[in-house]
Amino acid sequence: MFIIGGSLFTYTYTYEWAMRNLLFPIAIISIAFAVFNKLALAIMSATGLPIGIILGELIGSRLYSIDVLRHEEMALQANYVQQSMPHHYGWLICIITYLMALVVGFAIQMLYKKRIQKLSTCSENWMVLLIAFRIGHKL
């Protein structure tokens, strides 16, 4: 996400904020889910952040531009006193999307527990075979 998004989303608010504040904790959470064999939670945790960044930027930018226009229209009034600045809510949308992805991952994990355990066991077996092949190939 950091490498791909660095070129695509460099000048966007939500991407920059998420990389500064969310990337490391979410990476730790995703790795912890994978280590404890919670495959659905690990996948949803890893995909929740990019989806949250995209939705946060699209929806947050639109809300921000509407808020700026509203403030500009109000500033034209003679007795207008500005009480607040317009806000970009991309960060909030990103966090909510990530949390919803975790809820979906938890539901999938609970509903399809047997299938996911088979899949993760199968993927572990493939990983062991791949590592053994790589070690044997290097010798």
28 or 134: whose pLDDT is higher? 28
Taking the C-alpha atoms of residue 99 and residue 103, their distance in angstroms, rounded to an integer, is 6
The overall average pLDDT reported for the chain is 79
Check residue 139 and give its pLDDT: 41
Say whether pLDDT at 94 is over 90. yes
Q: How far is CA 18 from CA 47, 59, 61, 63, in A?
A: 13, 15, 15, 18
pTM score over 0.75: no
- pLDDT of 3-61, one tens digit each? 555 555 566 888 888 888 888 888 888 888 888 878 888 888 889 999 999 999 999 98
Torsion of CA 24, 28, 33, 35, to 10 degrees: 140
Say whether pLDDT at 108 is over 60. yes
Count how many residues are written for the chain. Answer: 139
> How confident is the model over 95-100, as a mean pLDDT?
95
